[in-house]
Structure formats: structure tokens, C-alpha cells
């Protein structure tokens, strides 16, 4: 059975709280503390697992927060392969101002990983991948020791996936040039991220759709998906452009919405759904996560209700 295998070189221990009002130079009394696994790939694995897909999360772990992170992943019954590193797993801290609804996100930097630790991540993919799997590289990259080590990491991961008959999905703005030169199955960017490739902001929908189509034509990716906030999303393939609107919901938090989108899209494509249904399902996953608080992800019943047309 094919799996969704996620790769997270720079995971986080996510900690979220609510504060009545965020103000400078004051001691803030916080409530509703929550802890969850964080980092793009880990969120994708958590979401895909909730949707019933076979998953495996490959991620680095080190120090006190790394040990706690493994415990959080185990609590969600997500299969994992943790690669030990000497540096400390980073912390991400999220505060929601309940008086305004604004979110404040503080992400600490990841520790540098050595050449042997980097290779251990790539070896883990090679040892776990099977034909038909989706390999999802997601999130930021930590500093990596060695010339070009960071810039070529995703390209090497894509090469391993392709050589084993798997499909490589990239949702990152790190190491893009080499990865797209190597070629990926699917590239996902949001309304801010695509500008690092385009060099400027483009108009929705025509210019953005044309840009996505141009990346496919160049062979950078078989599919390019750009999510554009409240406007919706577009998926370009060699033969078609597919659009999907967002689901209007009263959002509590946007944390993890993009990762939930990627998980829903991969699950639907793995199941053989057509592009229109897959993109709509991905949008339902993102909207359902926006209904959750802090760093929580969606409830499956919310995804199914939204996808079926419920309010």
C-alpha cells in the first residue's frame, strides 16, 4: 500500500496560548496552553493520518524539545522515523490576542546539522520509499554543514524519490533552484512564496495561472499549485488549469492550514481523484484547520462536512 512519507529537516515543538491582550512591557497572563508537533512535514503527516492515509513522518530530533516532540507525535499515532541530531529541536511559540483576534508567531532558528546528519535524513528516505509513495518535503531547512548542502538538499531528496518510482512534492522556499532543475511532481506555494520565483507579485488569477503553467512547461514540476488567500487556488498541469474557491469559515487560527491543504491534495491524488475534486478537498482541509484553535489541526468530520457542501 502506498504511503505519504513526509520529510521535515527543521521541525518544531509548537506551543500556543491565549492572552487577553498583547501589550509591551507588561507581564501577560496566558491561558489555554496547547502543545503540538510542528514544522511543515510533520503537520502534513498528522493531517494525512487523520484522513486515513498510510503515513510515515521522517524528521530530526535533538535535546529536550526533541524528546518531547517525539512524545507528541506518538500521542497522535503517527508512524515516525526520528533521526537524532546533536542540536536542540527548535521551539515555535504562538500567542493569540483574544481582544483583537490577532495571532503572534515566534519561530526560533533551527540548529545546524552536520554532513552525516544530513545524509542520515536522505538515507532514511531511500530505505523507506516504495513505488507509488508520495514523498513530501515541507517547511524550512536548517543550516547544513558543507558547501551547497542546504541548496541541494531537496533536489537530492527528489532524485531519490524518482529513482524509486515515487512522487516528490515540495512545499518550501528553501533550495528551490536545484530542486526545480531536478524536477518535482508537485510544487505548492502560497500568495507570498511564489514571488521568490516570479520576482514580483502577479495579478490573480490570470497572471498567476500563466506563471504556474510556465513552470510546468519548463519541466520544473508536473503540477504547480498556488494558493492565493481568500481568492482560492489554482493547479496547473501540462494539459489544464484547475481552480478552486476557498470555503468561507469563521477562522480561529491559520496555523497549519497550508500544510493541511497539501495533505488533503496528496491524499486525494493518491486515491485517484480528478484534479477538480482533489483541489476542492484540499481547500476543505485548509478551511477545517482554520476552524481550530492555536496549533491544532482539523477534525475529519469538519473536512467531510465542508467538502459535502455544509456550512
Examine residue 195 and state whether it is found in any structural domain, yes or no: yes
pLDDT for 51-100, tens place per residue?
999 999 999 999 999 999 999 999 999 999 999 999 999 999 999 999 99
Query: What are the backbone dihedrals phi and psi of residue 169, each rounded to the nearest 5 degrees, phi first?
Result: -110, 130
In the three-class reduction of DSSP (H, G, I as helix; E, B as strand; rest coil), residue 199 is classed as coil
184-189 and 167-171 beta bridge pairing:
parallel
Q: Report yes or no on 283 lying in a domain.
A: yes
**Residue in the structure block whose three cell numbers are 506518538:** 74
**Interval 219-228: pLDDT, tens:** 999 999 999 9
Identify the three-state secondary structure at position 69.
helix
Count how many Cα atoms sit within 13 Å of the Cα of residue 188 in the half-sphere of its side chain. Answer: 25
- Residue 187, domain CATH: 3.40.1190.20
Domain presence at residue 249: yes
Region 24-41: mean pLDDT is 93
* Digit-coded pLDDT (tens) for 264-294: 999 999 999 999 999 999 999 999 998 886 6
Residue 222, C-alpha cell as written in the block: 508536473
| Cis omega (within 30 of 0) for bond into 51 | no
Tens of pLDDT, residue by residue over 172-213, are: 999 999 999 999 999 999 999 999 999 999 999 999 999 999
Say if pTM beats, i.e. exceeds, 0.85.
yes
Per the structure, the count of domains in the chain is: 1
Q: From 199, 200, 158, select the one nearest 175 (Cα to Cα).
A: 158
Residue 92 host element (H or E): strand 90-97
**pLDDT band at residue 256 using 50, 70 and 90 as cut-offs:** confident
Q: Which pLDDT score is estimated for 296?
A: 76
Whether residue 255 is predicted with pLDDT greater than 80 in this model: the reply is no
**Cβ-proximal residues to 181 (8 Å cutoff; 6+ apart), any chain:** 155, 220
Give domain status of residue 247, yes or no. Answer: yes
Average pLDDT, stretch 115-136? 98
The set of residues, in sequence order, having a beta carbon less than 8 Å from that of 41 and lying 6+ positions away, is 6, 7, 8, 11, 57, 58, 59, 136, 137, 138, 139
Give the cell for residue 103.
Answer: 495571532
Catalytic residue among 259, 275, 277, 302: 259
Each residue of 2-20: pLDDT tens digit? Answer: 999 999 999 999 999 999 9
Q: What is the pLDDT of residue 101?
A: 87
Q: Three-class SS of residue 244?
A: strand
Share of the chain above pLDDT 90, in %: 90
Tell me what percent of the chain is helix, strand and coil, each rounded to the nearest 5.
35, 25, 40
Q: Which residue has the higher pLDDT, 254 or 85?
A: 85
| Closest CA relative to residue 180, chosen from 206, 212, 209 | 212
Q: Please count the other Cβ atoms lying within 10 Å of the Cβ belonging to residue 201.
A: 12
Of the ranges 241-255, 276-290, 295-309, the best mean pLDDT one: 276-290
Residue 219 lies in a domain: yes
Residue pair 278/246 in contact by the 8 Å Cβ criterion: no
* The three three-digit cell numbers of residue 38, written as one number: 510542528
Instruction: Give domain status of residue 32, yes or no.
Output: no
Determine whether 239 is an active site residue: no
Residue 311 has pLDDT above 70, yes or no: no
pLDDT of residue 251: 72
Report yes or no on 129 lying in a domain: yes
Does a structural domain hold residue 276?
yes
What own/partner pairs with CB < 8 Å and gap ≥ 24 does 172-176 have? 172/40, 172/137, 172/138, 172/139, 172/140, 172/141, 173/140, 174/140, 174/141, 174/150, 175/141, 175/150, 175/151
DSSP 110-133: PPPB-HHHHHHHHHHHHHH--TTP
What's the mean pLDDT when you consider all of the chain?
95
Pair 156, 123: CB distance under 8 Å: no
Domain span at residue 223 reads 4-8+39-83+117-307
> Is residue 295's pLDDT more than 80?
no
Amino acid at each position: 500500500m502506498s504511503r505519504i512519507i513526509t520529510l521535515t529537516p527543521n521541525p518544531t515543538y509548537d506551543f500556543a496560548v491565549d492572552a487577553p491582550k498583547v501589550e509591551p512591557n507588561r507581564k501577560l497572563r496566558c491561558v489555554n496552553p496547547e502543545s503540538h508537533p510542528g514544522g511543515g512535514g510533520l503537520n502534513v503527516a498528522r493531517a494525512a493520518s487523520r484522513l486515513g492515509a498510510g503515513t510515515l513522518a521522517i524528521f530530526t530530533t535533538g535535546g529536550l524539545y526533541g524528546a518531547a516532540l517525539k512524545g507528541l507525535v506518538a500521542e497522535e499515532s503517527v508512524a515516525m522515523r526520528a533521526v537524532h541530531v546533536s542540536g536542540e529541536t527548535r521551539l515555535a511559540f504562538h500567542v493569540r490576542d483574544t481582544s483583537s483576534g490577532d495571532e503572534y508567531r515566534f519561530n526560533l532558528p533551527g540548529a545546524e546539522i552536520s554532513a552525516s546528519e544530513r545524509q542520515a535524513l536522505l538515507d532514511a528516505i531511500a530505505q523507506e520509499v516504495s513505488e507509488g509513495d508520495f514523498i513530501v518535503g515541507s517547511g524550512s531547512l536548517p543550516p547544513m554543514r558543507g558547501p551547497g548542502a542546504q541548496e541541494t538538499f531537496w533536489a537530492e531528496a527528489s532524485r531519490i524519490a524518482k529513482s524509486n518510482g515515487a512522487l516528490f512534492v515540495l512545499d518550501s522556499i528553501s533550495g528551490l533552484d536545484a530542486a526545480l532543475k531536478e524536477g518535482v511532481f508537485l510544487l505548492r506555494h502560497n500568495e507570498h512564496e511564489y514571488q521568490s520565483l516570479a520576482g514580483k507579485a502577479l495579478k490573480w488569477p490570470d497572471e498567476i495561472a500563466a506563471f504556474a503553467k510556465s513552470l510546468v512547461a519548463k519541466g520544473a514540476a508536473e503540477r504547480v499549485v498556488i494558493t492565493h488567500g481568500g481568492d482560492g487556488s489554482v493547479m496547473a498541469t501540462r494539459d489544464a488549469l484547475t481552480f478552486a474557491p476557498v470555503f468561507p469559515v469563521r477562522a480561529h487560527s491559520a496555523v497549519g492550514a497550508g500544510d493541511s491543504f497539501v495533505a488533503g491534495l496528496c491524499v486525494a491524488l493518491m486515491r485517484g481523484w480528478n484534479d477538480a475534486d482533489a483541489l476542492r478537498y484540499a481547500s476543505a482541509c485548509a478551511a477545517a484547520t482554520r476552524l481550530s484553535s492555536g496549533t491544532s489541526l482539523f477534525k475529519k468530520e469538519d473536512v467531510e462536512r465542508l467538502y459535502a457542501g455544509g456550512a
